Each structure stands twice: as structure tokens, then as C-alpha cells.
Structure 1
């Protein structure tokens, strides 16, 4: 039986990826029981923040589906409007939940909300899916 990917594993994998990708300043990490976003970080070069909600892997596909929906609701309720600072938003999810997100979040919404899907696998690899990636994925699915 394969080991489930925990929320802590997802969070740690994404933090390593963030530092390699130029998002290292002012890193704030919430614990499992904390209120607010799980990861808040500022870009090293420009005044932009990245707010990320993370979730672990569910035991069944239905739980993974529910996990995705819950994480989407959480990040939407934390979105900021107005102001001069642009915020990017992310869902940090295990591979299976990320695949559900790729199918279910319209790319137009991801573009409008600056929403990025971060898929984490067992090897701690993080794959970033921005709105252009979602568009390619969804258009490919429509053609098949």
C-alpha cells in the first residue's frame, strides 16, 4: 500500500520549490491548526505576494475531490481586492487532487484570479500549472 502524501509533506515540498523559484522573502508558514493561509511569501525581486493553501492526500478519490473543493473555498475566502500590491494565489495539492483541479477550474477563472495549481508527488517534485497550462490541458481534453 502506498503511503499517503501528508499536508506537511506538501507544504515542505512547496517551500523548497519557492526558494528555488525566487520566492523567498518574508516567508510565513501556518501550522495545521492555524487560521489563515498556509504559506505566505514575497517575491525576491518585485513587490508581489504568493498566498498558498495546502492540503494532503485523501484515502479515496471522493476524499481527494472533497479536499480540492475545500482548498479552493479556503483560498477564495482569503483573496484580497483593491490595493496596489498584486497577489498570486496557489493551491498546493498532491498529484491526484491537482489533476482534479486541472479538470475543474476553468482557465479563464485561474487567469482572472491569478490562481496557480502546485502539484506535489511522492518524490517532492512540484509542478506549477498557471492559467496557460490549464488552458492547454483543457483544450487538449476537449479535442480527445
Structure 2
């Protein structure tokens, strides 16, 4: 899903996609002349987890994930003085260093932008039904729920 909102809606871009994510796209989506602060978080695939080497990783999403992402974004926009907000998450097979998730929030002040961005990524990770499947160098694998 890609959501390009009307000018009055602070939620400018929401997407769950199986193609590489663009930091430039997300940053551009939250540009706002009245924003004094823009906070961006990029979650990347690392080469280890819990002391084990990661050899492969994939994400999958429940059909309700887009609806839940919208709900999370609306709550953040309601709780903070958000000028603009964007969130994109990748699904499918990813490599080490690939961007898995990018969120950004612009607000009038930096403190608000940092707080809103932190809430957005934390709530996305805990509430949006996206699962991570990791395969490790020792031959084991695991699924991690709600990304």
C-alpha cells in the first residue's frame, strides 16, 4: 500500500512493499515549511542477533498490516503536534545492510519530532503484524513476531 495523503492530513506516506526502500522518498514526504525539526529512523539488517551470525533474513506481513500501520500512524499524529509523518516497511528477502524500515516525522520543534519518531517506530514494531524470519550461520532459524 502507498498512501499519499491530502494536504491537510499529516500522514503523507505509508507503505509495506517488497522493493528496496528509499530514504530520499521518505524524507521528501515529510518536508514541511513550518517544521523546525525532522527526525528519521532507518532500521537496517545486521549481520548478527543474540550472539549468532545472521546469514539470511526475510519479512512477511499479515493482510491486516497496512490497516494496523495506518492506525499506529494516526495515533502518533493525534498524540504529537506532527506536521508530517511517513513510514515504510520492507517485506521479502533482505540482505545485511538493507533498509528494513524507515520512519520520519516533522514537527515545529526537534524535541517533538524525536519523541514522535520514537513512538512511531516503537509502536510499529510492537503492533503492526510483520514477522521476521532469521536464518543463522549455525544452521538454526527463528521467527520473530510483530517485526
The structure with the greater share of residues assigned to helix is 1
The structure with the greater share of residues assigned to strand is 2
Q: With a CA cutoff of 8 Å and minimum separation of 6, indicate the structure with the bigger relative contact order.
A: 2
TM-score normalised by structure 1 residue count:
0.29
